[in-house]
Structure 1
């Protein structure tokens, strides 16, 4: 039989041994040193000068002084001297100076990493429960990047399940956002934690935003077209498809365009062929939110197939950038223009034909640009009426006159510092009436272009015709 135990090398009492208490006490001393092992440090190479009985250390590398040659061993101060115990692989000790367990792997001691996988739960500053397996009680929680970025992922099993963030007051829900019951992203709120109101929904398939709260605007990421068809459409539709899905009125299309944020993109109202008999003018009283042009487009190949017929004004434009494209404009008034624009608005005309009207286009401080060829085949008091600093740019386009239309006042009436530039523009066909009526420091830059009419124009009160 061996004199010592096989694991801790504790001395056995031998048969007929004298002073058996010495062997027994030595074994107890060894147990007292290594059971529930707590060391003052595991990172010290030289013994302290003020050690007391029971002090224990793990000797760090390169042991010095009384610890020389004992690196990695456990040093225990007993009876005014150091006793050394060689550890076995797997032994652990709690190092008080770093508040960490260290483990001997057979060669060196290292900080112990606790096993954190498959825990039943984790509470930080509080206790977890059977439903909230992770619970944190803290003034703040930081989820930091470990590189360039960081993602917080909330995963659910199926489309009908819930993946959300819930905001509470007194443990009662007040706001929730996420995908609850579908893959649409929703934001909902509650005043009492039981009755909920959905404020916002983003369709998972189309990205379209729906909201029941007034004032929220959809933001476009690309140009949008709305469709208008007075025969097949209905103003209760969303207007996003032609035919039966279209709006019935132009005014509804304008309203839809004004209700969203364009994100800088243009919005086009595409009008189906037909005659639109207006009861009230179509008013554009503000610019599109987010910028961009509002384009009212008819039949660009055959403008006469989309007729805008009104008792007085057809379009009143107070602000914004508006383009009329592929339309025939006419009214039954003796004085009103089919289109009027004012303020800081900018109007462009392209492939627009003008029929009988009190006037064709009236500008008051606004700007008009021809974006393409246009036509005139109806009588009017005037084709253009500019006042209060309005501007017209013919932009080198051609205007074709058919059937010798008559202008009662003048083809172009220009007053109060307004400027009309016809240089480079051309006119095909003929007309009757006065060519121009200039007054109050207005200017017409004809560029040697002869304006339609068979009567010379007039200038007065500082006006200039060049």
Structure 2
């Protein structure tokens, strides 16, 4: 290029006939010059350069590097120095405006691309201070295939340099198909964005979008060009009517079809999270919601009549708070509302409250299924005898269409009484069912789940004992109630004592059937429940078939030969956690007593807070046995035992292997008489608490 420019300049300056022309060394050289203008012409500025001046100012220089315009030191084929952004290189097309008009700048390669990925031109943006060059931003053109007269596939790439680095990376690409990639160089859609996107005057340039997410300030329409909600989705060509409420999302389906939302969850494990729609309610300015009730989420339906919606939703399923919401208690309920024919007012027809009770026709169900507000009837599922369920479950009820009689299932299908002379009798007060001709005469209730019976110091033995509000007063009453009226069927009956002091103990003599019984006090502070009696044992189990666990309470008994805990006549008592043994008579009272083949099983740690005649006493072939090696008996104070801490007589056994003691007591440590055995598995005669040696006689053994 520089040779061509120099030749052109020489042709202008020289006459047509050959001659030698002297070139001066300054911009005011005498030759060659324009006639009458000594400061305009061609001159040699240095020994290896030719320059052009105008008005005595050098405007162009050609040297061994190239052509410089506005600079005397070009370093590339063409260097143009300007004094401002509006000066420099300008390409003006003088043809009339049209589809091909306008100036252009060409950046081309000197060879035809033979493969994809060959760069054919670029625009480079940077800085040069005469010594160092910086090129941090580039727009480049690339071949996407080998070029020919029919194939010229290409793409454009935009590169920038991140702050704090000096290496350019591609930030945007337009591929041969016109797909634009931002943050990716492999777009496969009209616009691919790798990263977050913010749309809107307030969002763009101000708020950070979520990673690979989208934030939109205005309304979004999918399938519609005129959304009027934050999100409007429709496949219908007809514009959706304005929503009836201040909705945020509106969904419309095609003509003649449903508008639906499909939520799918994919999880490979056998359990996990499915799909859900959440509704949340807050107090003012995102404060906590502490009011007793209020709607949280409603799924409602309306029918559009062409001009508007009904004044209220025609049908709704709603979830609502059902009490004050706290971090430890958040009761809720579900209501079902419909609108009857001839009305526009929706009413709740069914509710499931926070206890799981279902009310039909009532919003305050008191039992599992409450129909108390309805005046019509229940229609039982009909079926022939041959259509009975393959496996009956006690409590099933159906209508037998073969004989036209309702029937229920206990251990077999039985007819429901239809007349006063029916062989089946239902007690309307207790609900007990008897059928003398069927062999059902006890009127006992068969448990279908674990059941708790309640006792409190303010209770009444005339109550049914089944709730805190209908608690009974005494242990004896509840034990006899269970023994006489309930078949446990393998389920646990828990006798729960409220905090307080009880002056009447338990003498459990009636056996119970096929299920464990647990007598429980206060698991947090066992001494809050105290059985303190005079002239009787605090807790006694007597007789074969009497078996229970006692836990989390304190016992104390005063009077001669009265004990804290007694098992006799083949009864079995298990000591659970949290038992506290208080004082008994110092001569004849025992704290843990088994006699006449009774058994007491020590399964958990316990406490001793008072003395007596004996701590352990086993007589007449009875058993006191520790069943764990991690049990500790904690002794508070230094209680005195007037007889022995442990006494085993008459072929009885006290097996204390693994039991540890914390604290001390006074009195004789043990006695084993008449083949009685005390087994600590240590042989240590000082193993048991006390300050006097123990004794054995008449075949008694201590180990």
In the superposition, the TM-score normalised over structure 2's length comes to 0.38
Aligned-residue offset at 1:148: 8.1
Give the structure 2 partner of residue 359 of structure 1. 590
1:345 aligns with 2:571: yes
SS for the counterpart of 2:446 is: coil
Corresponding residue to 1:304 among 524, 527, 530: 527
Q: Structure 1 residues 296 and 153, CA, compared in 2 at 3 Å: closer, same or farther?
A: closer
Deviating above 6 A after TM superposition, structure 1's stretches of 4 or more consecutive aligned residues are 145-150
Aligned-residue offset at 1:349: 1.2
Query: Gaps spanning 5+ residues in structure 2: where?
Result: 1-383, 410-414, 436-440
Aligned-residue offset at 1:344: 2.2
Matched residues in 2 for 1:149 and 1:371: separation? 39
Matched residues in 2 for 1:148 and 1:226: separation? 34
Q: Structure 1 residues 383 and 149, CA, compared in 2 at 3 Å: closer, same or farther?
A: closer
Matched residues in 1 for 2:471 and 2:564: separation? 25
Higher relative contact order (CA 8 A, sep 6+): 1
Matched residues in 2 for 1:300 and 1:164: separation? 54
SS for the counterpart of 1:253 is: helix
Corresponding residue to 1:404 among 625, 638, 649: 638
Q: Structure 1 residues 190 and 447, CA, compared in 2 at 3 Å: closer, same or farther?
A: same
Q: Structure 1 residues 148 and 343, CA, compared in 2 at 3 Å: closer, same or farther?
A: closer
CA contact (8 A) 1:423 1:446 kept: yes
Matched residues in 1 for 2:540 and 2:481: separation? 17
Corresponding residue to 1:394 among 618, 623, 626: 626
SS for the counterpart of 1:404 is: coil
SS for the counterpart of 2:452 is: strand
1:457 aligns with 2:680: no
CA contact (8 A) 1:186 1:202 kept: no
CA contact (8 A) 1:347 1:367 kept: yes
Between Structure 1 and Structure 2, whose CA radius of gyration is higher?
2
Give the structure 1 partner of residue 508 of structure 2. 284
Aligned-residue offset at 1:313: 0.8
Matched residues in 2 for 1:148 and 1:300: separation? 44
Matched residues in 1 for 2:466 and 2:388: separation? 45
Aligned ranges for residues 44-59 of structure 1 at < 5 Å? none
Matched residues in 2 for 1:341 and 1:218: separation? 28
Q: Structure 1 residues 228 and 187, CA, compared in 2 at 3 Å: closer, same or farther?
A: farther
1:154 aligns with 2:386: no
Matched residues in 1 for 2:645 and 2:433: separation? 50
CA contact (8 A) 1:405 1:431 kept: yes
SS for the counterpart of 1:337 is: coil
Aligned ranges for residues 407-426 of structure 1 at < 5 Å? 407-426=641-660
Give the structure 2 partner of residue 256 of structure 1. 481
- Matched pairs, number: 292
Give the structure 1 partner of residue 432 of structure 2. 210
1:190 aligns with 2:424: no
CA contact (8 A) 1:334 1:381 kept: no
Aligned ranges for residues 297-336 of structure 1 at < 5 Å? 297-311=520-534, 312-319=536-543, 320-336=546-562
CA contact (8 A) 1:165 1:177 kept: no
1:226 aligns with 2:453: yes
Corresponding residue to 1:437 among 639, 662, 671: 671
Matched residues in 1 for 2:594 and 2:487: separation? 27
Aligned-residue offset at 1:292: 2.1
Q: Structure 1 residues 187 and 400, CA, compared in 2 at 3 Å: closer, same or farther?
A: farther
Give the structure 2 partner of residue 271 of structure 1. 497
SS for the counterpart of 2:476 is: helix
Q: Structure 1 residues 359 and 236, CA, compared in 2 at 3 Å: closer, same or farther?
A: same
Q: Structure 1 residues 423 and 210, CA, compared in 2 at 3 Å: closer, same or farther?
A: same
Query: Gaps spanning 5+ residues in structure 1: where?
Result: 1-141, 157-162, 167-175, 180-184
CA contact (8 A) 2:590 2:614 kept: yes
Matched residues in 2 for 1:147 and 1:273: separation? 46
CA contact (8 A) 1:188 1:200 kept: no
Matched residues in 2 for 1:346 and 1:146: separation? 43
Aligned ranges for residues 36-185 of structure 1 at < 5 Å? 154=399
Aligned-residue offset at 1:186: 4.8
Aligned-residue offset at 1:236: 1.9
Aligned-residue offset at 1:454: 0.9
Matched residues in 2 for 1:201 and 1:464: separation? 58
Q: Structure 1 residues 177 and 403, CA, compared in 2 at 3 Å: closer, same or farther?
A: same
SS for the counterpart of 1:257 is: helix
Aligned-residue offset at 1:164: 8.6
Give the structure 2 partner of residue 42 of structure 1. none
Corresponding residue to 1:294 among 489, 497, 517: 517
